Chain A
Amino acid sequence: MANYPIKIILKTLSYLGLLFTAVPAFLSFHGLITFKQYEIFMIIGAFMWFLSAPFWVTKKDKI
């Protein structure tokens, strides 16, 4: 288990990864970025999420 400040950084990276996944679609929809740029943001978002989330996302309860 990561200690508290590292956990905060990891969580921040994860949530930024989700933002990078969700927000560029709206920017692309409104023509603020190209579809290609949107695809690149999606890949970056995926990597940010999958490289940080495993360290803090855990199953709370077994049901």
Chain B
Amino acid sequence: MSDNTATSISDQLDAINDYEREPVPASKVKGFKDFLALVASEHIAGTEFVIGPLFVLHGATASDVILGLLVGNILATLSWTLICAPLAVKTRLTLFYQLERISGYKLVSIFNGISGIQACVFAAFMAVVSAGAISLVLGLETPSFSQMLPSGITWVVLVTVLVALITVIAIQGIDLVSKFATISTPWMPWVFLASGIATLPQLGVHSFSDFWTVANTTIWTGTPVEGMSKYNFWHIMFFAWLCNTAMHIGLADTFIYRYAKKSYYGIASFGGMFIGHFMAWIASGILCAAALQAGISDPTPGQVAGIGAGIAGIICVVIAGWTTANPTLYRAGLAIQGIFPSTKRWKITAWLGVAAALMASFPGIVSKLDNLLAWFALIAAPVGAIVVLEVYVFKKLNLETDYSHHRNGKMNWAVAATWIISVTLCYLIYLGLELDFFFFMAIPGWFIAAIVYLFLCKLRQMKQPKNIIKDSL
């Protein structure tokens, strides 16, 4: 490694760690345009080629999809606008530091670990998506994404090489990766839009007035493919709203919005939601229907994009997967490194790369994307509820804030209990009501966590005097 590279990595890490343990100063806040560009690019990723087809395969109807995405994306935008961004502007702290002050280092480490594993799983998802597209171009055998076991040694070698490349870049060149993502982001939405429009005649749409009829009879037919559960309006709406739970009501995006000049900048997420999670999901759903009509019963993202835009579509899948996987694995390394501060970041990222390669060898994990997102949503929601209470409610109720910070980092058992109780209760409710979609539990999980945490803190304060150490921030 050259000195220049070493300096560059050091600079990048310094930039990422900026104001990690202190409020962002007023001189460093950014204007609205910066947020619009940033959050729009954040939500146009390789996953869009997986999620749009999921709604088709799960037998949603056209009105379920259009209305569900409309309402769900508005609710997601409101979650950023009314909860995440205002809290970030009020405290100007990262979620991790805020949580460390409240719960203590040990609990934050557990949360870091879960966040790291989540990011690692996502990197594996993206490697699978890119590998599927590459094997299509190379004429290699592409396993079906509902097939859990690897199809053969070729697939394992391909994903291993791909993850190895991703890992090397995640270790060394995050700046290059960021630049590549910035360059490809303006191009990708046009590919989604173009492929959706150009594919419509293959489905029988020859004028825009035909669209709704064909949408109901050929694209979103209301009949799930064999082995898939049925999705309705509520599944789509909750999915659109809560697939980014960790970011909005889970408050992970405080990392970004603490730089916002005004609290209403959360509205910038509207761009990301309605380009990435509305237009792109609808377009990739149209492409999936065309693939099904062409006799591909279980289309991969590469096949879906290839049908819509040929080689350009496949390039788009590879780039989308690549640009998402690199920073994702980098973030996983950062999160896990927080638990093992004495271990070199590159070693942790390398081990995560090995784990991602192992996961990516099993292509069926892609078909479980919605379930995995739902689990992470449920785990992240209580954290958001706890921080919202601490920032907005506790002082009004004369309850002590930042418990751990005032006790030299002592673990806050109320946070641990709240987390365990809310996730367990939600799971029991999910089983008791025989629900078929775990996303339904993220909002109840948020409110259960808020009630339990308030109760436990009130109980603790009745037994212990309130610590009078003044907040240093």
- Chain A positions near chain B (C-beta within 8 angstroms): 17-18, 21-22, 24-26, 28-29, 31, 35, 38-39, 42-43, 45-46, 49-50, 53-54, 57-63
Contacts and interface: CB of A to CB of B under 8 A. Distances in A.
B162 interface: no
B183 A54 contact: yes
B30 A63 contact: yes
Contacts of B202: 35
B7 to A, nearest CB: 16
A26 B256 CA distance: 37
A22 B179 contact: no
B223 interface: no
A43 B191 CA distance: 10
B424 to A, nearest CB: 36
B5 interface: no
A17 to B, nearest CB: 8
Contact of A53 (B178, B183, B200, B315): B183
Contact of A57 (B35, B183, B190, B312): B183
Interface residues of B, number: 34
Contacts of B179: 54, 58-59
Contacts, number: 84
A58 B313 CA distance: 24
Contacts of A26: 197
Interface string B168-194: 000000000011001110110011011
Contact of B187 (A21, A38, A58): A21
30 contacts: A21-B312, A22-B190, A24-B198, A25-B193, A25-B195, A28-B198, A29-B197, A29-B198, A29-B201, A31-B201, A42-B310, A42-B312, A43-B312, A45-B190, A45-B312, A46-B187, A46-B312, A46-B316, A50-B183, A53-B183, A54-B179, A54-B183, A57-B182, A57-B183, A59-B178, A60-B34, A61-B34, A63-B30, A63-B38, A63-B259
B309 interface: yes
A14 to B, nearest CB: 8
Interface of B is mostly: helix
B26 to A, nearest CB: 15
A45 B15 CA distance: 34
B198 A35 contact: yes
A18 B34 CA distance: 22
- A-B pairs with lowest CB-CB distance, top 5: A39-B310, A25-B194, A42-B312, A25-B198, A25-B197
Q: Most chain-A CB neighbours within 10 Å: which of B178, B179, B197, B202?
A: B197
Contacts of B35: 63
Contacts of A29: 197-198, 200-201
B242 to A, nearest CB: 24
Contacts of B193: 22, 25
Nearest to A39: B310
A46 B310 CA distance: 12
B256 A63 contact: yes
B190 A18 contact: yes
Interface in B54-73: none
Nearest to A49: B187
A53 B171 CA distance: 25
Contacts of A17: 187
B182 to A, nearest CB: 5
Interface in B246-260: 256, 259
Contacts of B183: 50, 53-54, 57
Contacts of B186: 18, 49, 53, 57
Given A25-B195, A42-B309, 7 more contacts: A22-B194, A29-B200, A38-B194, A42-B194, A49-B186, A53-B187, A59-B179
A43 B182 contact: no
Contacts of A53: 183, 186-187
A3 B201 CA distance: 45
A61 B30 contact: yes
Contacts of B316: 46
Contacts of A18: 186-187, 190
A26 B202 CA distance: 14
A26 B34 CA distance: 31
A63 B184 CA distance: 19
A63 B34 contact: yes
Interface string B198-240: 1011100010000000000000000000000000000000000
